[in-house]
A = this chain, B = another copy of it.
Amino acid sequence: MKAQALHGHLDALLLAVLEQGALHGYAIIEALRARSDGSLDLPTGTIYPALRRLERAGHVASTWSTVSGRERRTYQLTDSGRRALAGERAGWREFQLTVGRFLDPESPPTPS
């Protein structure tokens, strides 16, 4: 799908992925791809700046580690991030309902 349609919802996706456990950037990209059956194949130039943004906002915290000679920056959700995720979920529901009122096929009141 057109990834640019994510606009405004990427942060929520990242928080949702990290909700299930801390991951490093590259693994986050793979997790998004896996959990979306390949629909979301986001480039590093999208993910890394977004993670920095979330860290600046205090929603995630990062720690460096070295795994077999490679540097990894592992991100984990903070309490603030968990609250933000709850808000994003609520926002998503509202967004979904509002846009759906225009784009979803209307359920026929008299099906038979």
State the A residues within 8 Å of B (CB).
Answer: 1-2, 4-9, 12-13, 16-17, 35-36, 39-40, 88-89, 91-92, 94-96, 98-105
- The minimal Cβ–Cβ distance linking A26 to chain B, given in whole angstroms, is 18
Interface of A is mostly: helix
Instruction: Return chain B residues, CB-CB under 8 Å to A102.
Output: 12-13, 16-17, 35-36
| Contact status B92-A99, CB under 8 Å | yes
Q: How many copies does the complex hold?
A: 2
A103 CB contact (under 8 Å) in B40, B89, B99, B103: B89
Residues of B within 8 A of A92 (CB): 99-100, 103-104
B residues within 8 A CB of A91?
Answer: 1-2, 5
